[in-house]
Amino acid sequence: KTDWSIEATAARRAQYYAASQSKFVPFKEPMVFKRGSMQYLWDAEDRKYIDLLGMNVCISVGHSHPDVVKAATEQAQTLTHCTTMFYHPTPAHLAEELAATMPKEEEWVVHFTNSGAEAIDLAMTMARTYTGNLDLLALRTSYHGPTAAAQSVTGIAGWRHPGMPGHVAFVPEPNQYRGIFGENAGAAPYLDEIERAIATATTGCVAGMLVESVQGYGGIIEMPKGYMSGAAERVRAAGGLYIADEVQSGFGRTGDHMWGFKADGVVPDIVVMAKGIGNGFPLGAVVARKAVAAPMADKFMFHTYGANPTSCAAGRAVLEVIRRDKVQENAREVGAALLERLHELKDKHAAIGDVRGRGLMLAIEMVKDRKTKEPDEDVTAAVFEKTRDAGLILSKSGPHRSCLRMVPPMCLSLQDVDKVAEGLDAAFRSAAT
Footprint on this chain of ligand PMP (rule: CB under 6 A): 115-117, 120, 143-145, 212, 216-217, 245, 247-248, 274, 284
CB of 120 to ligand PMP, least distance (A): 6
Taking a C-beta distance cutoff of 8 angstroms, is the pair 279, 289 a contact?
Answer: no
- By beta carbon distance, the residue nearest ligand PMP is 116
Of 220 and 235, the one with the shorter C-beta distance to ligand PMP is: 220
Tell me which residue of 210, 207, 362 sits closest to 272, measured CA to CA.
210
Strand-strand pairing, 392-393 and 48-51: parallel
Half-sphere exposure of 20 (CA within 13 A, CB side): 5
R_g of the chain computed on alpha carbons: 21
Q: DSSP code of 276?
A: G
What type of residue is 56? N
Nearer to ligand PMP, 281 or 428 (CB): 281
Q: Which residues contact 251 (CB under 8 A, 6 or more apart)?
A: 60, 258, 273, 276, 277, 318, 322, 327, 410
How far is Cα 141 from Cα 173, in angstroms, rounded to an integer? 6
State the amino acid at position 279 in one-letter form.
N
- What is the widest separation between alpha-carbon atoms in the chain? 64
Q: Name which of 274 and 337 has its Cβ closer to ligand PMP.
A: 274
Secondary structure letter of residue 224 according to DSSP: P
Q: How many CB atoms lie within 10 A of CB 2?
A: 5
Q: What gap in Å lies between CA 152 and CA 376, rounded to an integer?
A: 28
Residue number, 216 or 408, with CB nearest to ligand PMP: 216
* CB of 261 or CB of 428, closer to ligand PMP: 261
Pairing relationship of beta strands 135-139 and 206-212 according to DSSP bridges: parallel
N residues, the chain: 433
218, 251 in Cβ contact below 8 A? no
Question: Cα separation of 136 and 274, whole Å?
Answer: 21
Which is closer to ligand PMP, CB of 68 or CB of 285?
Answer: 285
